[in-house]
Amino acid sequence: MAYVSVMRPRKWLLKAVAAIVLAQWITGAVIIARADAPQPDPAGIATGDRTSTSDAGGNSFVVTEPTDKTAPDYAKNEQAFKDFQAQADKEPLAMKLADNLGHLRISTNFSWTLLTGYLVLFMQAGFALLTCGLVRKKNAGHLMMLNFAAYVFAFLAYYVCGFAFQYGGTAINAAPTNLGGTPTLNHFLLGSGLWGFLGGKGFFLSGPAYDSGSLCLTLFEVVFMETAGYIIVGAICERITFWAFLLCEIFIGGILYPSFGCWVWGGGWMSQLGNTMGWGHGYVDFAGSTVVHGVGGFCAMALAVILGPRIGKYDKNGKPRAFPAHNLVYVVTGTFILLFGWMGFNPGSTLGASDLRISVVAVNTNLAAVGGAASAMVLWYFMFGKPDVTMACNGMLAGLVAITAPCAFVSPNSAVLIGIIAGVIVDLGVLFNERVIKVDDPCGAISVHGYCGWFGAVAVGIFADGTYGSGWNGVGPTTYLGKAGQGVTGLIHGDVSQFFMQIGGATFMAIYIFAFTYIVFSIVNAISPMRVSKEVELEGLDVPEFGLSAYPEDEIVSTEAA
Partner 1 sequence: MKRIEAVIKPSKLDEVKASITALGITGLTVFEVKGFGRQKGHTEMYRGTEYVVDFLPKVLISVVVVEEMVEPLVKAIAENARTGKIGDGKIFVSSLDEVVRIRTGERGRDAI
Is there binding between residue 14 and partner 1 (CB under 8 A)? no
| Closer to partner 1 by Cβ: residue 55 or 555 | 555
Phi, psi angles (nearest 5°) of residue 54 = -150, 170
Binding residues among 408-437 for partner 1 as defined by CB under 8 A: none
Strands 479-480 and 483-484: antiparallel
- 543 binds partner 1 per the rule CB under 8 A: yes
φ/ψ bin of 81: left (φ > 0), alpha (ψ from -120 to 50), beta (otherwise): alpha
Q: Which is nearer to partner 1, 68 or 535 (CB)?
A: 535
Residue 452 · residue 402 · CB < 8 Å: yes
Number of residues in contact with partner 1 under rule CB under 8 A: 14
Cβ proximity to partner 1, 36 vs 560, nearer residue: 560
Residues 273-332 that bind partner 1 (CB under 8 A): 312
Binding of partner 1 at residue 547 (CB under 8 A)? yes
Q: Is 5 in the site for partner 1 (CB under 8 A)?
A: no
Give Cβ neighbours of residue 261 (< 8 Å, ≥ 6 apart).
Answer: 166, 167, 221, 225, 291, 295
Give the x-and-dash track for 47-86 against partner 1 (CB under 8 A): ----------------------------------------
557 binds partner 1 (CB under 8 A): yes
Element (H, E) at 196: strand 195-199
> DSSP letter at 49?
-
Q: Mask: binding to partner 1, 204-223, rule CB under 8 A, as x and -?
A: --------------------
DSSP code per residue over 363-422: HHHHHHHHHHHHHHHHHHHHHHSS--HHHHHHHHHHHHHHHHTTTTTS-HHHHHHHHHHH
* Amino acid letter, 82: K
For the chain, what percentages of helix, strand and coil (3-state, to nearest 5) are there? 65, 5, 30
Helices (H) and strands (E) in the chain, counts: 22, 4
Smallest gap from residue 266 Cβ to partner 1 (A)? 42
Q: Please identify which residue in 26, 340, 538, 551 interacts with partner 1, judged by CB under 8 A.
A: 538
Angle (CA) 293-150-447 rounded to 5° is 30
Residue 560 binding partner 1, by CB under 8 A: yes
| Cβ-based neighbours of 114, under 8 Å, separated by 6 or more | 216, 219, 220
Q: Please report whether residue 148 would count as binding partner 1 according to CB under 8 A.
A: no
Question: Is residue 554 within the footprint of partner 1 (CB under 8 A)?
Answer: yes
- By CB under 8 A, is residue 2 in contact with partner 1? no
- In this chain, which stretch among 83-91, 427-435, 475-483, 549-557 interacts with partner 1, using CB under 8 A? 549-557
- 556 binding partner 1? (CB under 8 A): yes
Nearer to partner 1, 92 or 324 (CB): 324
Note whether 555 binds partner 1 by CB under 8 A. Answer: yes
Q: With contact defined as beta carbons under 8 Å apart, do 438 and 304 qualify?
A: no
Q: Which stretch binds partner 1 (CB under 8 A): 69-77, 180-188, 243-251, 548-556?
A: 548-556
Contacts with partner 1, residue ranges (CB under 8 A): 312, 535, 538, 543, 547-548, 554-558, 560-562
